[in-house]
Amino acid sequence: MMYERFPDYFAMESRTYPFKSVSLRLVPELSTRVAALQAGTADIIEADLTVTDQIKSGNGQIVYAPEAVHIWINANGCDREVDNDGNPIMCNDERVRFALDYAIDKTLVQQLYGGEKAFEIAGYQGIASPSGLGYEENIAPLAFDAAKAQQLLADAGYPGGEGFNGGRTLMIHTWVGAGAPLTVEVSELICSMWEQNLGIDCEVSVGEEVSTKKIQYAGEIAGQYVVRTNENTFDGGRRMMGRYAEGGYICSDPELAETYIMPAIATAGDLSVRHDAYNKALKAVFDKHYDFTPGYLNQPYGVSSRVTSWTPWPLQPYPSALWDVRFE
């Protein structure tokens, strides 16, 4: 699609496009996009961490759009005591949920994704992010604390992992891609940390996206974890309701929804008032810890050498603020 600059655009003073036209091309194959950038037939391409070194070695640049997607670790049915087969659900105990999170060394996840430019240990699984409504440090990812994780698991009745899950393997479900690269690898990393730091048996099952979501939302894998991504958003109210209200697909917690989430959504006033109300709701969700995150990915873009600057907006999983692009 070819777009031409419209000189009578009402916001032209604040969005002074430095070019007369822009061509947007749909190129699904990542390798083809990289080749176009290196050949000089593209100025901006969507990339991922698997090609950042290739782009830089070919005289290109990497620009990150901040707060694109979160790594989301979640289990359906933690509000239930048993699964469909009558087996006890471990995450029904809040101490277990916190133990699983404390046992994850978030810095290792960050290293897997290439460092702090690509991955930041912040935010809250797609319902809150530093640029979003209600986010404060009181809902940031938990710092790794193996001793605390082990004590919580012992307090829940499973010292050293003994008797955990009735001796059955704790499953992590994911799929290739899952909204970001290396989701299988990060799932295996989390699984290994649960085994090493908590002494529990863990296994990663790699399936297909539609079928995995179907069995999770149907409650067929209640108490088993799913590792995937979730796009960040400015206002996480709708997502909180969908996840945690009565009949929610993560859990059914009407008290949480009616006491905290719904009042936050209904709060009127300026952004500071709404921010405080949302933080109260998000902190209540955090304290339940039905799901959690090690942090979020910044979206990398490959940019040609003739682009001197570009500052894309946060919370956008697609190219934004194109009027801000400057050429040499």
Provide the pairing of β-strand 225-231 with 170-175. Answer: parallel
Q: Which residues contact 1 (CB under 8 A, 6 or more apart)?
A: 23, 24, 25
Q: What residues are paired with 225 via a beta bridge?
A: 75, 172
Secondary element (H or E) of residue 152: helix 146-155
Residues in the chain: 328
- Residue 215's pLDDT is 94
Q: Do 318 and 289 share a domain, yes or no?
A: no
Q: Do 42 and 98 share a domain, yes or no?
A: no
- Residue 75's pLDDT is 94
Mean pLDDT value across residues 236-255: 94
Q: Which residues contact 203 (CB under 8 A, 6 or more apart)?
A: 169, 170, 171, 172, 191
- Number of compact structural domains in the chain: 2
pTM, two decimals, is 0.93
Rounded CA-CA distance 155/198 in Å is 13
- Residue 275's pLDDT is 97
CA distances from 71 to 21, 108, 121, 227, 327 (A): 36, 13, 10, 7, 34
Q: Do 92 and 209 share a domain, yes or no?
A: yes
Whether 299 has a pLDDT exceeding 90, the answer reads yes
Record the tokens describing residue 296, joined without a space: 């979020």
Q: Do 113 and 196 share a domain, yes or no?
A: yes
Q: Minimum mean pLDDT among 5-19, 96-110, 120-134: which range?
A: 5-19
Q: Do 134 and 25 share a domain, yes or no?
A: no
Rounded CA-CA distance 277/269 in Å is 10
Secondary element (H or E) of residue 38: helix 30-39
Domain that holds residue 164: 67-297
Q: Do 249 and 267 share a domain, yes or no?
A: yes
Nearest to 225 by CA among 266, 194, 267: 194
Q: What is the pLDDT of residues 36-64, one digit of tens each?
A: 999 999 999 999 888 999 999 999 999 99
CA distances from 212 to 81, 173, 215, 298, 314 (A): 22, 7, 5, 25, 29
Q: What is the pLDDT of residues 116-145, one digit of tens each?
A: 999 999 999 889 999 999 999 999 999 999
- Residue 5's pLDDT is 87
Whether 177 has a pLDDT exceeding 80, the answer reads no
Cβ atoms of residues 123 and 70 within 8 Å: yes
Cβ atoms of residues 204 and 188 within 8 Å: yes
Q: Do 134 and 257 share a domain, yes or no?
A: yes
Q: Do 99 and 232 share a domain, yes or no?
A: yes
Q: Do 77 and 202 share a domain, yes or no?
A: yes
Q: What is the CATH number of the domain that holds 135?
A: 3.10.105.10
- 9 C-beta neighbours (distance < 10 Å), count: 12
Angle of the 237-244 helix axis to the 271-288 helix axis, nearest 10: 30
Cβ atoms of residues 115 and 52 within 8 Å: no
Cβ atoms of residues 103 and 170 within 8 Å: no
